[in-house]
């Protein structure tokens, strides 16, 4: 009797898997949620480290996987063409991983902080250059104009006793 129930359950599950596959559920999930295969292990590594179950070096892949998971989620939602401008974030993932490792490692290897800062700075500068070649330059220009107007007109007139 027990074997018959197990076999019946297996047949029902097999039928559901086949039906869901034919309806395109697995293709939809795989196509839209694959970046979670990077993001979730990255977050899990952070959780395991802070639960004191993994060593400090696990923060390096945790940072890389988490940043890559977020990056690929963004490009998956708004189109893979964004990678043309967001590719420097790949370097930023390495910098985040190195920085996380360097912050918690007790022996603090000498190369970790400088490497993280250099790679992070290069990533941010490259990202700025790639974004300035897109339509974000208009947003940046408007922000500069608004900031200048705020400095010229509104800043010193808060009534705190500061006058010109």
Please write down the HEC assignment for all residues of 72-88: HHHHHHHCHHHHHHHCH
C-alpha 81: how far from its chain's center? 17
| 164 neighbors 156 (Cβ within 8 angstroms) | yes
Q: What is the DSSP code (8-state) at residue 160?
A: S
**Confidence band of 4 (pLDDT split at 50, 70, 90):** confident
DSSP states along 141-155: HHHHHHHHHIIIIIT
Which pLDDT does position 160 carry in this prediction? 55
Please give the structure tokens belonging to residue 71: 């990056």
Average pLDDT (126-130) is: 87
| 31 neighbors 61 (Cβ within 8 angstroms) | no
Q: What is the DSSP code (8-state) at residue 55?
A: -
**Confidence band of 7 (pLDDT split at 50, 70, 90):** confident
Please give the structure tokens belonging to residue 106: 């007790």
| 58 neighbors 96 (Cβ within 8 angstroms) | no
Q: Which residue has the higher pLDDT, 154 or 101?
A: 101
Give the closest residue to 32 by CA, choosing from 82, 83, 73, 80. Answer: 73
- Domain boundaries in the chain? 1-33, 34-152
Which pLDDT does position 108 carry in this prediction? 73
**Confidence band of 42 (pLDDT split at 50, 70, 90):** very high
What percentage of the chain reaches a pLDDT higher than 90? 39
Q: What is the pLDDT of residues 88-127, one digit of tens each?
A: 999 999 999 999 998 888 787 788 888 999 999 999 999 8
3-state DSSP assignment of residue 157: coil
Model pTM greater than 0.85? no
Which pLDDT does position 28 carry in this prediction? 77
């Amino acid at each position: 009797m027990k074997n018959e129930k197990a076999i019946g359950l297996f047949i029902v599950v097999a039928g559901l898997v086949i039906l869901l596959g034919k309806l395109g559920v697995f293709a939809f999930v795989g196509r839209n949620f694959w970046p979670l295969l990077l993001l979730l292990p990255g977050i899990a590594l952070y959780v395991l480290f802070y639960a004191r179950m993994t060593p400090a070096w696990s923060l390096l892949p945790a940072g890389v996987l988490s940043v890559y998971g977020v990056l690929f989620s963004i490009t998956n939602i708004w189109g893979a063409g964004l990678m043309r401008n967001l590719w420097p974030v790949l370097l930023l993932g390495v910098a985040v991983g190195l920085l996380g490792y360097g912050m918690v490692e007790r022996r603090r290897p000498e190369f970790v902080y400088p490497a993280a800062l250099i790679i992070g700075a290069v990533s941010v500068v490259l990202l700025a250059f790639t974004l300035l070649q897109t339509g974000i330059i208009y947003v940046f220009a408007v922000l500069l104009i608004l900031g200048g107007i705020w400095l010229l007109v509104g800043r010193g007139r808060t009534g705190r006793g500061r006058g010109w």
